[in-house]
Each structure stands twice: as C-alpha cells, then as structure tokens.
Amino acid sequence: MSNQLQQLKTMTTVVVDSGNVDAIAQFSPEDATTNPSLVLQAIEQERYQPLIGQAVAWARANRPREQWLGGATDKLAVILGTEILKHVPGRVSTEVDARLSFDTGATLAKARELVELYREAGVDRSRILIKMASTWEGIEAARVLEQEGIRCNLTLLFSFCQAQACAEAGVYLISPFVGRILDWHKRRQPDADFTGFNDPGVASVTQIYNFYKRCGFGTVVMGASFRNIGEIQALAGCDRLTIAPALLDALAARTEPLPRQLRAAQEQTERPAALTEQQFRWQLNEDAMATEKLAEGIRNFAIDQEKLDVIVRRHLEAAQ
C-alpha cells in the first residue's frame, strides 16, 4: 500500500521547504522553497561553507567595493538555488531581502538582480520564483514583475485581503502560512480544540482556495508553515503544499488512506470589486492576527538576513 506522502503527491504538488540539498534530493519534490532563515541554516553546515567563498570571490570580481556585501549575499542565495535546481524538475523560490518589504522600487530592483544572477548561472527565469512579503508594496512589485514575465511567490500571507490583492495583481503563487496562524490562536486559547478542520490556519487556506476556484483566479495556492501532519492531511488536494523534511518523513511513515479534502468548485461566481490600497490596509489593520504575524515574520526574516550579512562580511574581510 502506498504511504500518505505518495498518496498526497497524486492530488497535490509537493514542495520541500528546506535549503538542505540532501533533504530535497531525498523526497523528489516538484519544487523547492527557501528563505533567509533556511539559507542561514544551510551555510552553518560545514559542507556548504565553500559556497560562501564562491559568493565572496564573485562579488569582489564583479561588483564595486560598496556593493560587495549585497552582491555576495545575493550570489550566495543564487548558488544555493542553482544547486537545489539540480534535484527538482520545477522551480525554486528565492526571497528578496525582507528589509525591502515596504519599498516597491527597491523590491523590483532586487528581484531583477536575482533574475539576472540566475541567467548568468545558466538558469532560465521559468525555473525560479521571486519570493517577497505580501505587503501592499510587495504585491505592487509583483504586479510589475509578472507583467515582465518574472513569476512571483508572495509569502507571509495570513489574511483574506492579502490573498485577494495577490490574485487581482496576477501573482503566480501565494504561500498562506498555516502553522503561524495556529500559533497565534493557541497562545490566546490554549485549551481550545484546534485539531483537524478546527485549525484556523487550515480554515484560512480552505477559504482562499475556494474563493480562487469559484472566481476563476489562476493564482496557485501553496499552503506553508505546517506544525503537524494533521494540517497537511486536512489540506490534501490544495494546489501545492510546501512541507519541511521532518513532516515529509512523518507522512511517508503512515499508510492509512488519505482522502482528498479540497476540490475545485464546479460553479463559478462573479469576482468582487478589486481592492483599493485604502481598503487593503484597513482590512489588514482590522485583522489583528494577520497584522501581528506579518510584522513579526518580516522582522524575523530581516534578523536572519542580518545574521547572514555578518557571516558574509566576515568572509569578505578575511579575503582582503
């Protein structure tokens, strides 16, 4: 009998949420996702240390001195992404610096730089997704990038208004965070039953998925940030799910039947009026969980980006 991971792959595209090349190769996913935290975890392992040297050498040879640090960290992300692409047939997501989350112009510039670095490495843009936070500024940057043929993955998505705005901007893919929504509610209601379909993160992704399918939006829904396999089982049938290696192992160890939970709606409905910036900001403000988790997520990614900068800066200094 097939295990639950094999069953899941028959109805959902499985993506590995890791910067560890070995873990990605082990599970044979369609795609892979990374973020500053995962890149940081990867380069702290001895086997990935040489990648830092490669990135530093490239920056020193190809960028003016004042751009060495930014150039090296971008190149490091691209080197790791290129290694990952050797083990997946689809795409890898590479994230724009979280510190640019409220600057549309800077996000656009950084996204284009990453695409160019991949091109120089022989990787076509069809194999990468540029990942950025689902702020209004990030969504507007994605609108422009999608028109340029650069596919985007909008992350740190916690609210329905973020999902609606992304679809209206023509974003290729969104990553609504399941586990972080659960974390917020559990802290406030520690004795509540949040198992299975009672999980507020599961409910959020289900609502977004059904809205997209009923309204005919083509944006891909990729559930992310899982805390347990129950959340994954409750979202079986979602377009994509990005899952950490430990939870992939847990699914592979189970052989019970895995029923499909999400299906595309047969009936279509009229799309609502497009959100204005004012409406988006107000609706996000009214959602305390989404406001807090979005801000927290950006801060934490920025902290890990700064830790990554410290490591790269040390290698730059050693190379002088």
Mean pLDDT of 279-283: 98
Distance of CA 271 to the CA centre of its chain: 26
Greatest alpha-carbon span in the chain: 64
Residues paired with 31 in a beta bridge: 15
% helix, strand, coil for the chain, step of 5? 60, 10, 30
Distance of CA 157 to the CA centre of its chain: 9
Q: Which amino acid is at 289?
A: M
| 44 pLDDT higher than 90 | no
Domains of the chain: 4-266+274-319 (3.20.20.70)
Pairing of strands 92-95, 173-176: unpaired
Burial of residue 291 (number of CB atoms within 10 Å: 0-12, 13-18, 19+): middle
Q: Which of 88, 37, 19, 80 is nearest to 308 (CA)?
A: 37
| 266 pLDDT higher than 80 | no
Instruction: Kindly provide the b/e burial profile for residues 144-177, where b requires at least 16 CB atoms within 10 angstroms of the residue's own CB.
Output: bbbeeebbbbbbbbbbbbbbbbbbbbebbbbbbb
Q: Per the residue annotation, which of 131, 213, 293, 307 is the catalytic one? A: 131
For residues 194 and 185, the answer to whether their CB atoms sit within 8 Å is yes
pLDDT digits (tens, 9 = 90+) for 157-177: 999 999 999 999 999 999 999
Look up 186 and say whether it is catalytic: no
What are residue 216's phi and psi, to 5 degrees? 75, 25
pLDDT digits (tens, 9 = 90+) for 77-121: 999 999 889 999 999 999 999 999 999 999 999 999 999 999 999
- The two three-digit tokens of residue 34, written as one number: 């990374």
| 265 pLDDT higher than 80 | no
pLDDT digits (tens, 9 = 90+) for 115-138: 999 999 999 999 999 999 999 999
